[in-house]
Structure 1
Amino acid sequence: MRNPSPSPSRTVSVRCAGLPTLMGAPALVFSRLSGTERLCELFEYEVQLKTPDARYAPSGPAANLDTQALRGQELTVAIELDGSGTGPVGRTGVGTREITGLITDVRGPIPQGRQIAYCLTLRPWLWLATLTTNFRVFQQQTVVGILEALLSAYTFPIEWRLDVGRYPSREYQVQYGESDFDFFQRLTQEWGISWHIAHSDGKHRLVLTDANSAFAPYTSPAYHTIRWQRSADRIDEECLHAFVLHDRLVSGQWASSDYDFVKPGADLAVRSAAPLDTAHAEAEIYEYPGDHGQPATDNDPWREGGHLAQLRMEALRQHGSRASGRGHVRAMVPGCTFKLSHFVQDKANREYLILGTDLEIEDVPEVSGMGQQWRCEVAFTAQPTNVLFRPERTQPKPRTSGPQTATVVGPEGEETWTDAYGRIRIQMHWDRIGQRNANSSCWVRVSSAWQGNRFGAVHVPRIGQEVVVEHLNGDPDCPIVTGRVPNRLNMPQWPLPAQHALSGFVSKELHGERANAFVQDDTQGEIQTQLQSGHQTSWLGLGFLTRVLHGAGRKDKRGEGFELRTDGQGVVRAHGMLLTTERRANARAHHKDMGETVERLAVARAQQETLAELAQQHAAQDAADQADHAEVARAIQQQNEDIHGTGTANADAGSFPELSAPHLVLASPVGIEATTARSTHLASGEHLALTSGGHTSLAVGKRLLASASRGMRIFIQSMGWRLVAAGGDIDLRALRDSINLLARLGITATADRITLSARQELVISGGGSSTTYGAGGITHRTGAAYVIRTASYALITAQRGAVAFPPARKPGQGNLELFNRYANHTGIGGEFRVEDALGKAVAGRLNAQGFAAVSGLAPGPATVSFGKDPADTWVEASHVGQPEWPPRVARTEEDSAVAQSAAGLVAEQVRAAASRASELGQTLQSARQLHC
């Protein structure tokens, strides 16, 4: 379009503080403008300036322009708008369109005949963001908040036409080596935010929008409606001479899904469908991941995913209806709307949003001989305003190319910092902004060699350690820790390469220096495995035992086999246990195999029974003794059966019958030795059976003290019984009954003096003759000759000598208090039975508080058993409750406990008195038994 200009004013002019002047007039004037401007893209215009036609200036201000100072300044191109209508009065919409941008490139001076020319490139201030790249982290911010933080470094105006409430917070977003502009472009495209540059008042500003309602017609009414006109026709207004509609078949559905480890079974699939009214409009695009899962946050993945899917669908659908055109229109501005009129297709005459333009304006020089002329040509693309505009996702998210390393961080003073999922905080090495604390990153998941529901392997990385970080799908917003590596501050557990044969795990005490370790030593010929704890130097060593120290490695050799040791207390607890030195080379047979042990126990039981039968045959045991021995025999038999087990072994199922009851079995083919510097105590609640196939030897450094509450039976099959006291007396006492001595041959008593005393009568008999000594005199009886041989014989006056015996003491009376309660101290009623040391049995019933007092018992040990709990086990009173310390001994219907008499002191006094009485009556009782 050419238009004569009768006045000296120019249709296009430029303003810039850095341009030179000459005698108050611009030294450089507009010559040509061409460029491209589109929604959501950086515009670029090239402006050509030259010296005026009437001024020849081969040198001077124009030729010596400071181009370096000109770069970075704002320059405004002002384009006069003639408006529409005929004549000065009829024109409407007269004004000026501005195009303002930063001068980013200057080429010149360029001599052109008698003139000097310069070519300047204009770009928006947002183009400065392409000059800056960065790595940085944004946490718990919406996309609007991230954009505000990103653009805060640029001091240029921004207009926010956004519904900020629709944007959810994002836990973790990374600008990953991108320029500020690329990061800006990626976020706006991802969240459907469009942007364009608005020009006015010699400035340009960034405008961000998320709805078509933010777009409006250009300020000049002359461009609210633009007429289509055939190029051959002449009209008195700017118009379009080309317009083309473009309808396209597009996909009609968008679907995506994602994964949330907090909702691992949830279906996070979302879909948005808006097919056009065409054939084949149901095609679907599926994307994974949809980036709408925000694990362990309050975000709603379905709502956010649905919003993103709708944005993607809108971006697809807008391509179904587009338009393009050309014309001599100076105010065809991207981001503005216009209404088309007079087009040949009626439905095309509607409102459109201008998406982009290619503009060219040129002033024809006066020296051409054509007078001052100008030419304007614009090509544009547009879409109907009833179709939502969404930016295309042309800016891809950067992808990581491989593993990286980072440092584990957390609050000051902590050694570990984790959450319920074992996640940690890290600071990437590229992060210049993070403060190496708990805010340096989001919670990052840690890969494990094994993970299940409450089982697997857990090794939470410690603060300060260097970890290997990878990213799911290469997404820098999705870090995951996959390993750990040593560095100068975190060296390997043992010195390398010297300790290269060691492998395993070593942990470190939090806020301390001790360690726990699982060590495998693969030294040739000396392999071992150790499990260690630095507390009380506790460890289990298996194999070739070599001390392995934390931080030092292998030290002194300590033997072969295994060692379980600690400086503290040790407990071995099992439901049945075999400790044996019966060798099974190379782990032959199953672990409870103890054939030799069972055989020895069977032989010992047979020996017990054989000798018991001999004792019964020789009257060493009476009927009551036989019953007691039978009880012992049954107990031994039951023990042997429990140890041997019943049924057959099933190696395929790993089932073996031994130890069907929780016995502790000690076995050795050579010997069992026990020693202590102090005392040894063996206690059995029922019976104690000792069997020796050879000799049994007792060596006692002081006294041998033996007590039996219900008798003692000793049987020697052969070779007799010898009792010798090298010093002191030998006392045999029967405090209540008799002492009976029986010998098949003879009884010999040899001493310096033998005294036989009887309180009532002493009878000495042999071979049918006897002598009786009593209070009534002495009577000699014989059926044969009575011979007295003596050197002298005398009869004197009668003299009576009374024999004194200590009085027999009655056994003391013991008292016993019984308690049977639940863990919450509520009493357990029911029956009880007590058997005292002399076999006396007492039965009764506990009261409601679970208490009973029993008196009249013999002092000494007693056996107590409780009957069945009469209460309902589901009532509140029977609640077991939490463990207490010190622990209480739980009693059930199966439990029995040996209770010590409450009259222990009385019992001790009775035993002392009985001992004294025995000493006083020893001589008399011995004489009586000898006489019998």
Structure 2
Amino acid sequence: MSDSSNIFHGAAPWKLEGLSVARLSEQARLIKLQLPASAPQNAVVVECFTGTEGLNELFDFTIDTLATSSEFDPFALIGEELSLRLLLANGSFRTWHGYLTAVDALGGDGGLARYRLHLQPWLAALGLRRDSFVYAAKHVQDIVSEVFADHTTASFSFEVTQEMPVRPTCVQYRESDLAFVLRLLAEEGLSFRFEHEQQSPNGSSTGTNTTPSHHRLVIFDRAATPPDCGLPQIRFHRVDATESTDAIIAWSSRRQVATNAVMRNAWDASVLQAPTGAVQSALSMGDVPVLEHYDGAGAQRYADSATAARRAEQQLVAFESRIKRYGAASSVRQLGAGERFTLTQHDRYEGRKFLALRVRHEAANNLGAQAAQVLEAGELEKGSYRNSFEAQPAEAQVVPLWRPKPTAPEAMVALVVGADDDEAPTAVHTQRDHRVQVRFHWQTQRAGQQQSTSSGQGSLVAAGRHASNRQSVWLRVAAPVAGPNWGAHHLPRVGSEVLVSFIEGDIDRPVVAQQLYNGQDLPPWSAGTDSSANHAGVLSGWHSRALDGSGYNQWIADDAPGQVRTRLASSHAASQLNLGHLNAQSPDESSRGAWRGSGAELRSDAWVATRAGEGLLISTLAQERAAGSVQDTTSVRGQLAGALREAQKLSDAAGGAKALALSATALLQPLIDDIDPQKNGHYPGSVNGQDAREPKGGEGAGSREGQDPVPTFARPLMVLDAAMSLNMATPASATVFAGEAIHWTAQAQAHLAAGKTVSLAAGKSIGLYSHEGGIQVIAQDGPVSVQAHTDELEWLAKEGFTVTSSNDEIHVLAQKKITLKGGQTSIELDGMNITLKMPGLLDIKGTSKSFVGPGGKPAKLPALPTGIAVFEEPPSTAPPPRKFKFSV
């Protein structure tokens, strides 16, 4: 059709205004247009129309009209459903319903005007709405139904014979509803067509768009049975006024080479493999080699290999259906896209069934010769209809081609969300494999989305849809190291902001890649130009909080030049391990405090335990740059060897003086041997595949050139090595226990001091031996008592023996007899007798002498205490006795 600038050019003898209203009525016309009840009836006459309809595409009709009433305003009908009716050979009408989506004013003259109207299905409106939405655990029917539920004019049905898989995640992101729906249907191999009500709506439309449309979207799979054409058998015949039925007037065929093999696979992280499906066409295409369409992109697209094979098969069907196509021209007014028919009276395809894929309609109204001359349409006065269509064999299945999915952005930010419980939010919301739920910023419900308007056009999302849009599917969390039961993870907590990436740009395959700081969640130990910290940012590490916020765990690495340190800390019992240049620093502060010392500090307000199953060495002997062996006991062995020599000499001297020898000295040499790498204290030839040789010549790989074995303890010993002095102090009590022997050796002096009492108790013997200098027993205040409870008490002196009482008496008491000897003289006090024995003179001197009569009184002896101590010494090899009776 020509545009408005040249419609009325030429030397036509008639003007448009010369056409009377009566002559432009719709009576006995081939084409009629029915308007809504709100519009003036018979206000417009159809001049002509063209239209296309096809499988898996939206129909589109362009209608040129003449308005016969000045009150007719087609612009007021935009968005309303109109009905285009075409007269059939039997006197009935075929009807197409569609919404007026655009109006072109083509000009006018006098009381007449020409308009071009554009009709499209209700589905076209979905292309005008762009949205972002997340669906979880739904199949395609549910998702499509939810999208259509937002459009009150939607009329649709499903003819799906196969069970559609449930999609764990399906995201519509910045995509129109139409593109989203068409993409989903193509991915699942579902096709669609439109069916129109053939009963006239009789102007029942109210113009409010609150009722479903009079045309229905039918979604079907490749196994569904297509409907038959209204003229089920169509002749291949000429078209003439004498013919009573419509016919096909032209027929052509085409064959082409197409993809003949399809393979699909995608990685599935849940089973650590890629389910694969591959199919190859059985159709013959000559000598064409295998032309495979391979798609190995994406992740977790297929639940198993069967699903992948089904997807591959449906794509192969889509390719195969395009190998053989037919084109035709006809006058069959009943023919619609997606309908079957049987071709008759054709010499080659007689009786064959075909399926119409796409139909293009063209029709002109019979407006008469006068109108045809004015409108410059040479054949219009006759009234005519023609179409052209594309078809395929009816036995071939219909499957749409794959529609590419929009590539997702490189990354998006989101917030980690918890269970839908606002009153008691949880700090951690996760699954066994540490997946979390997130909410993107575009999932936030907007005020205008609380409910839909009555027209279905006033809001982007209808009521109820965004209530579930606030939920999220479970997302995997990327970790710096991950493997089979090993790795590292820092689980994002509820409320954390995360960076979400998409595997291979697939919007349906999000994964949490990183966690982010923001204006509310600042990093621990934050520093910089806008911080109050007293450094430029030398602190790094890791800091966590208890789920209830009551405590923390942290690891700090301080990289200040010349003051490096690290701290491993827990708020429980203020437990810390500090290494390096120790500075004071509060757990929640970024500033570095005063210097507290250097080295290593292990502290806790609760217990501290050190356990070593194979031995423990604690030493204050410096080892330069920690380059030597870990259990280097060279200094300890020298000290113990010196102690052994000293103790052995004293033990031998004591034994020679008939004193108790130091029998525990015999234990020292085995101890020294067990920590000496040249004897028992070394590793075997190799440990875990590496030669156990002591480092030589510094650090690094070159230090492995030594020949000496690496020292270790032959038995689980605890060795304390103090380079200067070993000090122990406690304000309470100290206990030292040895199951065998305690050996104390001092090369100089050993002192034992007690503020009150010193008690020595031995189960058998106590020996005191002094090699030089003597032994002194002095009681500054109080008696000195030396007692032998069950045996003799012997005092022996090579020189003199003096017993002196400076201020009182000396009493010598015996139960039976006292004998005093000096040289060859003795005095015996035996019972009631006194016997003096001497070889010489008995001389008794005194200023006075008195020998009185006999008398007697027994000596009063002090009672000696008695006691029993029981010592149990189970054999070192035999188990202790059990279930034996004993008495003491």
TM-score computed with the length of structure 2 as normaliser:
0.83
Residue 836 of structure 1 corresponds to 872
Q: Which residue in 2 is equivalent to 1:703?
A: 757
Q: 2:34–2:83: 8 Å Cα contact kept in structure 1?
A: yes
Question: What number of residue pairs does the alignment pair up?
Answer: 787
Q: What does residue 354 of structure 1 align with?
A: 356
| Change beyond 3 A, Cα 1:20–1:604 | closer
What 5-or-longer segments of structure 2 have no aligned partner?
Answer: 1-23, 201-213, 446-464, 684-691, 695-703
Q: 1:682/1:841 Cα in 2 relative to 1: closer, same or farther (>3 Å)?
A: closer
Q: Per-residue deviation at 1:841?
A: 13
**Partner in structure 1 of residue 858 of structure 2:** 802
The answer to whether 1:204 aligns with 2:215 is yes
Establish whether residue 529 from structure 1 lines up as the match of residue 583 from structure 2. Answer: no
Within 1, Cα distance between the matches of 2:857 and 2:717? 63
Matched ranges for 1:340-351 at <5 A: 340-346=343-349, 349-351=351-353
Correspondence for 2:599: 561
CA distance in 1, matches of 2:509, 2:574: 43
Q: Does 1:472 align with 2:500?
A: no
- Could you tell me whether the CA contact under 8 Å between 1:736 and 1:808 is conserved in 2? no
Deviation at 1:66, TM superposition (A): 2.3
The amino acid across from 2:499 in the alignment is V
1:782 partnered with 2:838: yes
Residue aligning to 1:881: none
Per-residue Cα deviation, 1:30-80 (whole angstroms, up to 9, x for no partner): 11111221111111111000146xxxxxxxx34x64233111111211111
Of 486, 489, 495 in structure 2, the residue corresponding to residue 455 of structure 1 is 486
Equivalent in the alignment of 2:236: 228
Query: Is the deviation greater in 278-287 or in 489-498?
Result: 278-287
Shift of 1:452: 2.3
> Is the contact between residue 293 and residue 301 of structure 1 (CA under 8 Å) also seen in structure 2?
no
Q: In the alignment, is residue 401 of structure 1 matched against residue 393 of structure 2?
A: no
Between the aligned partners of 2:481 and 2:562, the Cα distance in structure 1 is: 31
Partner residue in 1 for 2:550: 513
- Measured in 2, the distance between the counterparts of 1:323 and 1:637 equals 106
What is the DSSP-based 3-state SS (H/G/I as helix, E as strand, rest coil) of the residue aligned with 1:555?
coil
SS in 1 for 2:610: coil
* Residues 1:48 and 2:51 aligned together: no
Query: 1:124-139 to 2 correspondence within 5 Å?
Result: 124-139=121-136
Match of 1:420 among 432, 439, 446: 432
Please list the CA deviations of residues 617-667 of structure 1 after superposition, one character each: whole Å capped at 9, or x if unmatched.
Answer: 11113xxxx5xx44x233332333333352476244997323232222222
For residue 799 of structure 1, report the CA deviation from its aligned partner. 3.0
Tell me how far apart the structure 2 counterparts of residues 675 and 785 of structure 1 sit (CA, whole Å): 67
1:173 to 170, 173, 176: 170
Matched, 1:680 2:682: no
SS at match of 1:251: coil
CA change 1:786–1:653 in 2 (3 A) is farther
CA deviations over 1:446-468 (Å, ceiling 9, x no partner): 01111222222121111001001
Are the counterparts in 2 of residues 425 and 438 from structure 1 also a CA contact under 8 Å? no
| C-alpha spacing 1:250/1:38, structure 2 compared with 1 (3 Å) | same
8 Å CA contact 2:148, 2:154 repeated in 1: no
Q: Which amino acid aligns with 1:441?
A: S
1:73 match? 80
Q: CA deviation at 1:217?
A: 1.5
Establish whether residue 596 from structure 1 lines up as the match of residue 638 from structure 2.
no
Question: Which residue does 1:758 correspond to in 2?
Answer: 814
Q: Which residue of 2 aligns with 1:693?
A: 747
- What is the rounded CA distance, in whole Å, between the counterparts of 2:396 and 2:878 in structure 1? 97
Alignment of 1:250 onto 2:258: yes
| Distance apart, 1:780 and its partner CA | 3.1
Aligned to 2:247: 239
Alpha-carbon distance, 1:563 to partner: 1.2
Deviation at 1:186, TM superposition (A): 0.5
Offset at 1:853?
3.6
Tell me: CA distance 1:319–1:843, structure 2 relative to 1, closer, same or farther (3 Å).
Answer: closer
Shift in alpha-carbon separation, 1:212–1:232, aligned structure 2, 3 A:
farther
Equivalent residue number for residue 339 of structure 2: 336
Task: Tell me if the contact between 1:136 and 1:432 (Cα under 8 Å) persists in the aligned partners.
Answer: no
For residue 165 of structure 1, report the CA deviation from its aligned partner: 5.7
1:854 partner SS:
coil
1:709 partner SS: coil
Q: Which amino acid aligns with 2:405?
A: K
Alignment match of 2:473 (pick from 420, 442, 462): 442
**Code of the aligned partner of 1:521:** D
Deviation at 1:388, TM superposition (A): 0.7
Partner of 1:491: 522
Residues 341-376 of structure 1 show CA distances to partners (whole Å, capped at 9, x for unaligned) of: 222324x74111111012211236421467831232
Q: Is the 8 A contact 2:415 2:495 kept in 1?
A: yes
Q: Is the 8 A contact 1:20 1:28 kept in 2?
A: no
Looking at structure 2, the residues matched to 435 and 258 of structure 1 have their Cα atoms a distance apart, in angstroms, of: 31
Q: 1:17 aligns with which of 17, 29, 36?
A: 36
Q: Give the whole-Å Cα distance in 2 for the aligned partners of 1:8 and 1:772.
A: 172
Amino acid paired to 1:225: Q
CA shift for structure 1 position 329: 2.7
For residues 190-229 of structure 1, what are the alpha-carbon distances to aligned partners after superposition, in whole Å with 9 as ceiling and x for unaligned?
Answer: 111111111223521211111354311223xxx2112223
The 3 A distance-change label for structure 1 pair 598 and 741 is same
Contact 2:443–2:469, Cα closer than 8 Å, also in 1:
no
* Secondary structure in structure 2 of the residue aligned to 1:166: coil
The amino acid that maps onto 1:286 is Y
Q: Show the counterpart of 2:152.
A: 155
Asked whether the 8 Å contact 1:27–1:51 carries over to 2, the reply is yes
Kindly state the Cα deviation for residue 600 of structure 1 after the two structures are TM-superposed.
0.4
Mark the CA change 1:428 to 1:773 in structure 2 (over 3 Å): closer, same or farther: same
Counterpart of 1:579 (choices 618, 621, 632) is: 618
Check if 1:98 corresponds to 2:95: yes
8 Å contact from structure 1 (residues 520, 530) kept in 2: yes
Q: Distance in 1 between matches of 2:665 and 2:469?
A: 72
Matching residue of 2:801: 747
Distance 1:436 1:663, change over 3 A: farther
Structure 1 pair 284/101, CA: closer, same or farther in 2 (3 Å)? same
Q: Which residue identity lines up with residue 183 of structure 2 in the other structure? A: R
Q: 1:398 to 1:717 in 2, by over 3 A?
A: same
Aligned partner (choices 643, 646, 651) of residue 681 of structure 2: 646
* Residue type of the alignment partner of 2:492: P
CA drift at 1:416: 0.4
Letter in 2 for 1:414: T
RMSD: 3.0
Tell me how far apart the structure 2 counterparts of residues 772 and 327 of structure 1 sit (CA, whole Å): 163
Give the fraction of aligned pairs with identical amino acids, expressed as a percent.
25
Change (3 A) 1:442 1:530: same
Deviation at 1:556, TM superposition (A): 3.2
Change (3 A) 1:702 1:291: closer
2:33 equivalent to 1:33: no
Evaluate the alpha carbon distance shift between residue 438 and residue 17 of structure 1 in structure 2; reply closer, same or farther with a 3 A threshold.
closer
Summarize deviations over 1:414-451 as a string: whole Å, max 9, x none: 10011110110100111135989997111111011112
* Stretch of structure 1 that moved more, 703-712 or 756-765: 756-765
Q: What are the residue-to-residue correspondences of 1:658-677 with 2, within 5 Å?
A: 658-677=712-731
Residue identity opposite 1:737 in structure 2: D
Q: Distance in 2 between matches of 1:20 and 1:746?
A: 150
Counterpart contact for 2:160–2:224, Cα < 8 Å: no
Aligned residue number for residue 211 of structure 2: none
Amino acid at match of 1:599: G
Deviations along 1:789-810, one digit per CA (max 9) or x if unpaired, are 4444443323334233356666
3-state SS, counterpart of residue 322 of structure 2: helix
* Residue identity matched to 1:480: V
Q: Secondary structure at the match of 2:482?
A: coil
User: CA, structure 1 residues 146+176, in 2 after alignment: closer, same or farther (shift >3 Å)?
Assistant: same
Residue 689 to residue 845, structure 1, CA distance change in 2 (3 Å): closer
